[in-house]
Each structure stands twice: as structure tokens, then as C-alpha cells.
Structure 1
Amino acid sequence: MNGNARAPLPAPVRQPAPARWYHGLSFRLFGFTLAAILFVEGLIFVPSASGFRTAWLNERLQAARIAALALDASPSRMVSEELARQLLENAEVLSVAEVEDDMHIQLLDSGMDIEGSFYQLDLRETTPVSRVMRVMGAFAAPKDRILVITAVGSTPSRIIEVVVPQAPLRKDLYAYGQRILGLSFLIALIAATVIYVLLHFLVVRPMARVTASVEQFRMDPGGWSRRLQPTSRQDEIGRAQNALSDMEEAVADAFRQRAHLAELGTAVAKINHDLRNSLASAQLVSDTLARSEDPRVQKAAPRLERALTRAINLASETLDYGKAAPQPADIQPVSLRGCIEEAAAEALAAWPEVEFIDELPSARIINADPEHLHRLAANLIRNAAEAMVAAASLPKRITVTLTRDGVEFADTGPGLPPNAQDNLFKPFAASSRKTGTGLGLVIARELAAGMGGDLMLASTGSEGTVFRLILPDLLV
């Protein structure tokens, strides 16, 4: 509004970088789900492989026991070498022996030389932890290792001893691991796909709409294009969408109001410029009237001159500072009754039918800014008079009293409508008249705050409205 002031340059809007497919939330959710399931499968694999190894050893041990039963059918517990070799091949072991009463009895022997490192394995003394540790060693064991398995024999007093090569166990463990890995990857892929589809429709797509709306809103905050629509979802995503929609609408309204106020400010500045020139001319006429010898003119001239001076100062402030903000209060001793009576005489000049009753004590002196107090009282009294005349209220009366809570301005008007009460001290929103701007109470409250006080609505209804002015207790 000041001709020398420069409007701030708008901040540059950073264009969003093009999103790549591997940067999207969908791909990340898919990858994290796949990795999580494979990680869990990996934790399960070790105990599962331990169980497979234990079952493999028990199968060989059970097959060796069945092969040893063939000896019981022979009177001498002896069989031919060919039958022994066949029994051992069917059991997939190298030899079978029994230990009873510290005597080692070789039941079946392949007759071949066994080469390799022997590893004792007692199945009678195994724990879950030891089985897990041994299965890890089985994957890294040398291929020529020979396992000597010891377990309970056909009776509790007998111990069976079976010699088995490590290579078949190692080969079967690797095959089992490959099957588990393939199955785990297939399960992870299916589960990740299902979770991805569900999350895509429940989370990713709504968040993509929210992101697109935010980016579009950043490009054009005051526009209405591609505005995010409210949703009926009751979860967190739905509440976030509705909150964002409300925020966008509120911010867009604020931008439109800012643009409207900027246009209004420019118009006010132009009007004030011409108004100040017209008031200067009127002041010259007022000076001429002050020299008149007519008693009525001499009585009214000082009041007219003060009103013109006050109007010129307000217009100058608007042009100098770009807004009609009150100047810092000049606190000084002032007669409360005299100041308000002068404001009432000025405010009610156009409504002689409105009765003004001043119940303030004549000797009350307070510390206040006389100019601010005059403008504040004039605004309140003028608003009350306009409301009563517009509503054709009877009687039309304004009463000013001093209570322990402050100075109260009471009228006999129709009261404030609900919408005016909700927006009482908001610019351009509180007026209930078609020709009103809603600025009178806003300015009055700013003037009261400038003197360290406040202005509030004490009561309103069909019997009238009461405003209370609260000022600091600065008595002299």
C-alpha cells in the first residue's frame, strides 16, 4: 500500500524429481516383505535341518537293527559274506556290531577296507542344542568322514554300533537345503505378492493420492484443481486424507482472503490519498468558520475542527504505514466522563433521537490515551445507535456506567445475532448490517489493548447489548 514498499518475491517452488519405480513405496514394501519372510525361514531352517539329520541317522540305525535280526534266524548267528554284503547295502551302512557286557561282537561286516577319519556319534546323549550344532558341522564335514553311530540295541543291555559314511548324509542335507530354499522363496514370493496387493490398495494408492494432492497444492495453493476429496474411511489413512482436505480448503481460503485484502488495501490507499486532500480543503473551510462571530458556529467549530484533524491523521497513518494500525498509546491523565461525553456527542450527531445517559462519576480521572479512548467510545456508541435505528427499537437509549469490572456501554437494541457473536472481533465478519464492515469492534479492541486493557461482550439479548471496557487501575 506504501508506494515505496516492495512486495516480497515469492519463494521458488522446487519441482519434484521424477519418481523411479524402485523408489516407490510399493517396491520397498514388496522387498521388505520378501526379505523378512526369507529371514524367518532362515531361522527355521537350522532346527529343520537338524530334525532331517536326526531322522536320517535313525533310519540308518533302524535299517541296521533289521539287518541284524537276520542273524537271529541262523543257529550259529552267522551268514555268508554275500548275504551280509546284501544286508549292509540294503541298510546303506558299512558294518554292524553289538556291545554286551563289555564284549564287542561284529554282526555284519562288508569285508572292505574303510578309509577316512572316524567320528564318534552317541545318539543316547544328544540334546536339541547339540543336534543343532552338529548339523552345522555336517555341512562343512569332509567327504571321507566315517560316522560311528552308537545307540541302544535290541535290548536295553545291548548297545548297537553302526558304521556309516558321512558323504551320503552330506549330500542329502544339501539336497534338503535346496528344496527348503526353493520352497521358502516360493512361499515368500506368494506371501509378499499377497501383502503387496493388499497394501497397495489399502495404503499405497491412498498415499499416492495424498502425495499428488500435496504436490499439486504446493504448486497452486489458492487453486481448486485436483483438490483431495474427503473419504468415508475411518482408519488412520482416512483421517489423514480428511485432515489434509480440510487443511487445503482452509489454506486456500486464507490465500483468497489475503488476495482480497491486498486488493482492498490498494483501494483503501487510493481512497485515503484523495480523502486526505478533501479533508485538508474541509479543514480550511473549518478555519474560516472558526472566525465567524455567530455563537452557534463558534460552539460547533472546535468539535468540527477536532473531527477533521482526527480524520486527517488516520488517513495519513494509512498511507504512511500501509495499514490502519493505532499509534502507540500516549498515556496521560484524562477525565473519563468528559472524554466519553465528547465521543458520544460526535457519534450521535446523526441520530438525535437516540438518548445518551452518562452515569460516570464526574471527578473520575484515569490514565489513558485521550485519542484512543475517544475513538473507542465513539465506535461503540455509533454501532449501538445504528443497530437501534435499523431495528426501530423503542426506546433508543445508550447508558454508560462504571462498575467494579470496568466501563459498561449498554443499549436497548435487539441484541447480536449468533453469527455476529461467533465472529465478534474478526475483521469483515462480525457485522450484522448490509452496509457494515465489521471493523468497528476490531478497532475498538485494538485501541483498548494499546492502553493495556481489553474490550469484551458482557451480555446480549432481546433487552439489549452490553460491552465492557477494562482498563488498568491507574488512578491519580
Structure 2
Amino acid sequence: MAANPVRASYRSLSSRLLWLTLAIVLLTEGLIFFPSLGHERRVWLQRHVREANIAALAVAGAPHGLLDPATRDDLLRLSGDELIRLHRASGVELVLAPPEEITPVARYDLRHETQLASVGYALVDLFRSQDRPITIIGNSPLRPKTVVELIMHERELLDVLHDYAWSIAGLSLIIAAVTGALVYFAMLALLVRPIRRITGSIVAFRADPERGVPIDAEAVSLLGDDEMAEAARELADMQRELRAALWRNARLAALGTAVATVSHDLRGILASAMLAADDLTQNLDGRVRRSGEMVVRAIERATEMVRRTLDFAREGPPPVTRTRFPLRWLIGEVREAMLPEAAGFSIAPCLDDDLLITGDRDLLFRVFVNLLRNAAEAGAGRVTVKAKMVAGVVEILIEDNGPGLPEPVRQNLFRPFVGSYRRGGTGLGLAIARDLMRAHGGDLELAETGPNGTIFRLTLPSQPEESTPPVAARQSATP
């Protein structure tokens, strides 16, 4: 089902950046708005206290401190207050008072009001619509040690706070919109579009990797040499290497198929040649018999080479039939199998009888035979096999006392057809051995090599005993 374009646009990176920018700007404006609203309320009230104080000074300047009712009402109206008192050290002085008594419903003392309390009062007033008489107390800005107390109606303060809130809200929305648009277009040009180009190149290359064109790294970023350009260059290099590897693997696959077909036919030809060579070994003529033996050995080597080539050309990992058995038994079988062909070569297993491994016995047999035969062919006279359990993994070390591996061999050690130590070798032994170990979930690697010998490390996952069927003991293979 096709994706909804509106939903896809809403969930795009550019849209999310836009909404995130708007949210951050509005949140920042909100953090500024609340303290500024409390400050606006406090400043307005302090200004009102100052105006009341000025009105009180006008009364003090009148003859005998007396005013006619009309002048009193004008002063109260101009100051916006209903009552004004001055508190001095000598006592309370009633300066301006209305003819009737007014009972306030709230009292605010600016002398002890904190900034946080001002913010709280302002927020409450912001959502209030009722006009109430309130008492305001503050220090006189004109006379030291004098406190001004006034009673006023709250309507004007509420109107001021509402107007201020609306103006700040509108300004915040404008700032958020402008900032969000600027950030959106900047991120669109500097981040989103380069990511889209890189993503589009990945999708196109994945659809047809053999014919896909690597991304043009220079056209990705507007800033030139930045992180996006670096990512594009790395992607282009990877695409070129992957395309070359795919072409190479395609040719190797075709060559492998041809080699497998030829090798299969060649095995039949070698079988016929082996029968004829066996007849020559039975000849009474000594020279003919020796020639027959040489031919038999040559055919055996050719047959082994064909077998290894077919094993390597097999598609996919070999099937693994897992059983659980002592590693010492397997090394004993390998030693018995190698005795006829490795005169003067000894295998010393330093293994505990209770060390059990889980795997395909026949495949692991081939792994150890390949490794030990390579050691013998490299000139080693003795191989020591050690093993230990490390964090649920069996670690097996095969140490020989040979002359070590030269640098060219180490560089291509596990590469087929190029990693052979001896002349005429195929280099398939170690490659196949590593494939078999990886088919078990483990690995084979060169741990150390030098004039004193070579050490190969094999790792094999250890599984609980009940996960694999028990294997019957082969007493004849016990070393």
C-alpha cells in the first residue's frame, strides 16, 4: 500500500526540525514570559505607589493639611486610588479617604513580595475578570522610613496584564515563526538535502549495485568540505569498492562453476589413471614398479587437489551435525590418521579428559588435519594442542616449533589459491578450515608466528550438554 504523502511529509526530517524549532522557541519565550509578566505587575504597582505618594504630598502642602471634597476627589481620581495612607515612624497619617468606607478583599505587600510570588500573583490575575478592591503596601520612593498604603480597584491592573500578555504572545509567535522558518530553510539546505542525496544514492545503488553510479561527493554539501561531504566521499569509495567486488565475485562465481565441472570430470579420469598406475606397481620390473609408485603419488596429490577445489567451490556453508564429545578423543583420531604420512612429526595434546566440545566431529577432524598437516609441511617437528574455556567459548591453541611464516604468506594466509606456504600448494587448506570453523559459529585466526614457531587460535562456542545428542565413545581413538 502506498504511503500517505501528507503523513510522509509530516514525518520527514525537515518537518520534524521545523516543529522542534517552533517548540523550542515557544518554550524559551514562555520561560521569558512568566518572569517578565511578574515584573510588569510589580513595576506597575510601584508606579501606582509613587503616584499615590505624590498625591499625599499635595495634601501635605495644603493649608493646615485640609482639602475641600472636590479637590480630594480629583486627587483620588487622578491617582486611580480609593484611599491613601502614609505610615510614618510617629504613627499612621490618613491623608486621603473616601466619604464611605471600602473593605478590600485582598492585600499585597510589595516590601516582602518575592519575584516568584509576583509571577504567581500575575498568573492568577491573568485569568481573573472580576474587579475587586485591593490593598497595596509599599515603601515611599520620596520619603525615607515612610510606608504608603492605598486601596484601589483591580480593573486597571487586569487590563494592563491582559494587554501585556497578548502583546508578548503575539511577539513570541512572530519570533517563533521567523526563527523556525530561518532554521528550517538553513537545515533544509545544509542538512536535509545532503541527507536526501545520500539516501537517494544508497537506494539507487541498492537497486542495481553492478551498474549504479557512485554519488558525486562534491555536489552534496553547500559548504564544501564538511561532515556531509566527508560522509558522501566515504559512501562513494564504498560504492566503488563494492561494485568492483561484485564484478570480481561474479567472474569468480562463473570461474568456480567451470572449475567445479572440470574437477568433477577430472576425478573420473584420475580414477581410471589410478587403476592403471596400481597395475604398474605390481610389475616385476623394478624400474617400472618405481615409476608406477611415482605415478600413484602424483595421482593422489592431484586427486586431493581436486577434492579440495570441489569442497571450496561448494555453495553455502557445509551442513553441521552437532554432537558433544571430548576434544582429546578427536585429537587422538587426528594423530592416528597422520602417523603413516608424518614420520618424525609428533602431536602432544595437553588437554583435560573432561573438556567437551560441541560440533560436527567429521568437519572438525578435517580442520585439525589441515592445520597439523600444514605444520608438518612447514618444517615443524612437534605440535602442542591446548584448550581452555573462556566465557562460554572453547579456545583451542595449536602451537608448533616450526620456522614461522614469512610476511608474504601471512598477508594472504586465508586467501584461496594464493596463501600456500609450499610450492605447488593450492592454499585451500586454511581457507576451508576457517570456513568450517565459521560454519560452527567459531573462527580460526593466526595468533602468533616467528622464528620459535607458529600459534593458531580456534574458537568454538560451547553449548549446554542437553542441546546436542551424546556421542558414543570411540575407545580406539583415545590417546
TM-score by length of 2: 0.66
Secondary structure of the 2:63 match is: coil
1:390-469 counterparts in 2 under 5 A? 402=381, 406=400, 408=402, 422-428=411-417, 440-443=426-429
Tell me the distance in 2 between the aligned counterparts of 1:289 and 1:269. Answer: 30
Corresponding residue for 2:265? 274
Tell me the distance in 2 between the aligned counterparts of 1:77 and 1:139. Answer: 39
Render the CA deviation track for 1:333-392: whole Å, top value 9, x for unaligned.
5888x847xxxxxxxxxxxxxxxxxxxxx76666899x96899679979xxxxxxxxxxx
Corresponding residue for 2:49? 61
Shift of 1:470: 8.7
Corresponding residue for 1:331? 334
Tell me the distance in 2 between the aligned counterparts of 1:46 and 1:447. Answer: 72
Q: Does the 8 Å CA contact 1:139/1:174 hold for their aligned counterparts?
A: yes
Tell me the distance in 1 between the aligned counterparts of 2:432 and 2:447. Answer: 9
Corresponding residue for 2:118? 131
Render the CA deviation track for 1:222-247: whole Å, top value 9, x for unaligned.
44324464889776555554554454
Match of 2:298 among 298, 304, 307: 307
Tell me the distance in 1 between the aligned counterparts of 2:402 and 2:375. Answer: 14
Q: Does the 8 Å CA contact 2:345/2:380 hold for their aligned counterparts?
A: no
Whether 1:170 and 2:142 are equivalent positions in the alignment is: no
Match of 2:25 among 37, 55, 58: 37
In structure 2, relative to structure 1, the CA distance for the partners of 1:366 and 1:75 (3 Å cut) is closer
Shift of 1:215: 2.7
RMSD: 5.0
In structure 2, relative to structure 1, the CA distance for the partners of 1:77 and 1:128 (3 Å cut) is same
Shift of 1:170: 0.2
Corresponding residue for 2:175? 187
Whether 1:75 and 2:63 are equivalent positions in the alignment is: yes
Tell me the distance in 2 between the aligned counterparts of 1:314 and 1:54. Answer: 96
Unaligned runs of 5+ in 2: 319-329, 349-364, 384-398, 437-443, 458-476
| Structure 2 residue identity aligned to 1:194 | L
Render the CA deviation track for 1:44-100: whole Å, top value 9, x for unaligned.
222211111111112222222222333344313233433333333332223334455
1:382-393 counterparts in 2 under 5 A? none
Q: Does the 8 Å CA contact 2:136/2:149 hold for their aligned counterparts?
A: yes
Q: Does the 8 Å CA contact 2:380/2:403 hold for their aligned counterparts?
A: yes
Secondary structure of the 2:169 match is: helix
Secondary structure of the 1:20 match is: helix
- Identity across aligned pairs (percent)? 28
Render the CA deviation track for 1:8-39: whole Å, top value 9, x for unaligned.
xxxxxx99986822111111112112111211
Corresponding residue for 1:84? 72
Q: Does the 8 Å CA contact 2:346/2:382 hold for their aligned counterparts?
A: no
Q: Does the 8 Å CA contact 1:41/1:184 hold for their aligned counterparts?
A: yes
Q: Does the 8 Å CA contact 1:380/1:409 hold for their aligned counterparts?
A: no
In structure 2, relative to structure 1, the CA distance for the partners of 1:107 and 1:278 (3 Å cut) is same
In structure 2, relative to structure 1, the CA distance for the partners of 1:123 and 1:291 (3 Å cut) is closer
Shift of 1:105: 2.4
In structure 2, relative to structure 1, the CA distance for the partners of 1:320 and 1:15 (3 Å cut) is farther
Corresponding residue for 1:105? 94
Corresponding residue for 1:52? 40
How many pairs are equivalent?
A: 403
In structure 2, relative to structure 1, the CA distance for the partners of 1:35 and 1:374 (3 Å cut) is closer
Tell me the distance in 1 between the aligned counterparts of 2:256 and 2:233. Answer: 34
Unaligned runs of 5+ in 1: 1-13, 341-361, 382-399, 460-465
Which structure has the larger Rg? 1
Render the CA deviation track for 1:426-461: whole Å, top value 9, x for unaligned.
2255599xxx9x9723436767999x99898758xx
| Structure 2 residue identity aligned to 1:39 | L
In structure 2, relative to structure 1, the CA distance for the partners of 1:15 and 1:272 (3 Å cut) is farther
Match of 2:107 among 104, 110, 120: 120
Secondary structure of the 2:112 match is: coil
| Structure 2 residue identity aligned to 1:215 | V
Secondary structure of the 1:164 match is: strand
Q: Does the 8 Å CA contact 1:445/1:454 hold for their aligned counterparts?
A: no
Tell me the distance in 2 between the aligned counterparts of 1:47 and 1:378. Answer: 81
